[in-house]
Amino acid sequence: MLRLFFIFFRIGLFSIGGGYAMIPLIQQDLVGAGYMTLTQVTDLVAISQMTPGPIAVNAATFAGMHTAGVAGAVVATLGVVLPCALISVVVARFFFSRMDSALVQGALYGMRPVVVSLIAGAMLTFAASSLLMPGGGLEAGAAVIFAGVFTLALVKETSPAVLFLLSALAGLAFYAP
């Protein structure tokens, strides 16, 4: 249980850029420790996204529950939230008193590409896990769902809740017996 706390403490500590920036760390730590498979992490991210609340807290709670039940959910959630809360207090005091500084603005602009690259890397890994069959071929149903959802999200700016509902219905149509 202590190991689970420290895994999520580390994830919370190094997830600079928001909840999506933690996805590569969750993947690396939970799959690396043998707590979850890549497919389970992909499902975890999907479930975390479609439930209310911050993705980081949801992901920690769900992963902890999967790993060690209710106690694991509490421990993982505390682990991921504690460093964020402590660091936020310190950083807020520093940055809010210096937001007009060219050095602060330069540092913030410099950090944005890192966040985007971490999210893009996680996206490519999850795309491969979701769209490719184990032998390497394209999973047709998943590709159709992806294309439809991507189009609705990009062109129509459809609500994420609607996208999840449509995806679930499409998944039932493609994969339910």
Last residue of a domain, one of 65, 86, 113: 113
- Mean pLDDT, the chain, rounded, equals 90
Question: Between 157 and 17, where is the model more confident?
Answer: 157
164 in a structural domain = yes
Last residue of a domain, one of 70, 85, 113: 113
The number of helices, as runs of H, and strands, as runs of E, in the chain is 8, 0
Tell me if the pTM is above 0.75: no
pLDDT of 94:
86
For the segment 37-87, what is each residue's pLDDT rounded down to a tens digit?
999 999 998 898 888 888 889 999 999 999 999 999 999 999 999 998 998
Which domain does 155 fall in, by range?
132-177
Residue 21: band (very low, low, confident or very high) from pLDDT cuts 50, 70, 90: confident
40 in a structural domain = yes
Cβ neighbours for 19, distance < 8 A, ≥ 6 positions apart:
48, 54, 55, 56, 59
For the segment 86-122, what is each residue's pLDDT rounded down to a tens digit?
988 998 888 888 988 999 889 889 988 988 898 898 8
Number of domains within the chain: 2
